[in-house]
Amino acid sequence: MNADSDIADIVRGIRGFGGLDEPGVAALASAATLMSLAEGAVVYEQDEDSYDVYFIVSGLVAIRASLPGSGGGRRATDPELIVLRSGAFFGVYAFLDGARRDMNAVARERSLVLRFDGPLLKAACEAEPRVGRAAYELFGKAAARNARDISMELRTLMAERA
């Protein structure tokens, strides 16, 4: 197997993309690369101007945010808002709304992620309507799930500080 067919196989296995035809899978795979992350590797940082979307193939990724009084924005002291596992998407907010990153993403352990290049992914979604529908539906669900989890963790953090 080669990297391109590995990526296509991973895309095919993602719930929500499995129903796409081969040209649709190929369009998504052409926008993606595999990244191997060491424990503690920074995937992206708060305020970064990046629109890439990530899918965790294996491992754990922590989403952290600098909160007032949490240590002045140093990643090591930022509270973990959520820890995502294999099968989860992250980085979708910036892709969906075009805004800068509002949180940090850090590998919690050695991890393998599929990185979808934001501009290439947008182009694939615009060129192939079925790909666009599948991607935006999947990313919308991931954003909603992550937002709910982050909201619950923020409530916990606020209660601890009270």
User: How many residues in total does the chain contain?
Assistant: 162
Question: Average pLDDT of the chain?
Answer: 91
- Percent of the chain whose predicted confidence (pLDDT) is above 90: 76
**Residue-level pLDDT at 4:** 79
Q: pLDDT tens for residues 46-95?
A: 999 999 999 999 999 999 987 665 554 445 667 888 999 999 999 999 99
**H helices within the chain, ranges in order?**
3-13, 22-30, 92-97, 118-127, 129-161
Q: pLDDT tens for residues 2-26?
A: 667 899 999 999 999 989 999 999 9
Q: How many domains does the chain have?
A: 1
Instruction: Name the residue range of residue 33's domain.
Output: 3-161
CA atoms of 57 and 96, how far apart (whole Å): 21
Confidence of residue 128 (pLDDT cuts 50, 70, 90): very high
**Which CATH number do you get for residue 145?**
2.60.120.10
Distance of CA 4 to the CA centre of its chain: 20
